[in-house]
Amino acid sequence: MSNKKISELSSTSELNSSDEFVVVHSSITKKISFSNLQKEILNYVTPHSVTVSAGNNIDLGSSTYDDSEMIKLSWSGANGNMTMTLPDCTSANSSHRLMRFISDSTFSSNTRVYLTPASGQNLDGSTNYYEINKSYEGVQLWSDGNEWFIIQKKA
């Protein structure tokens, strides 16, 4: 670690995801990577917008959704059902992870997204899905590293 004063440090606008920072939390000095700091700060504010449609399946465990904490859903096309499979709750990326979902005005009672736990895993103690089927419906999920929990609903 540098022995320089903050005022003596050079400034940069370019950071890499692996750059690390020192933080003091509850009187304990810790380190956090820039990518995790971004995840903690930015993803709670900036939603990942996903257009969904009948018959489609989306695997939320794919790397595309690794940093998605808020997912805004928009429906496109004919009425019907589609499935979004939750990430593996036991993976390092999903353990102690929050995921929030909100539907926009394009949803109706005839358009349904099934938030489904990965094969062999549970959502609120069940292998069943959570259904989003109306405008401005929302749900917040959390993984304890063993299963997903519904911790808040907006409907």
Rounded Cα distance, 142 and 89, in Å: 9
Contact 68, 94 (CB under 8 A): no
Residues 22-49 pLDDT 10s: 878 778 888 887 777 666 665 444 678 9
Closest CA to 96 of 39, 38, 17, 18: 39
pLDDT number for residue 153: 93
The DSSP symbol for 1 reads -
Contact 117, 152 (CB under 8 A): no
Indicate the average pLDDT of the chain. Answer: 87
How far out from the chain centre does Cα 38 lie?
13
Hey, what domains does the chain have and what are their CATH numbers?
A: 15-46 (no CATH), 47-154 (2.60.120)
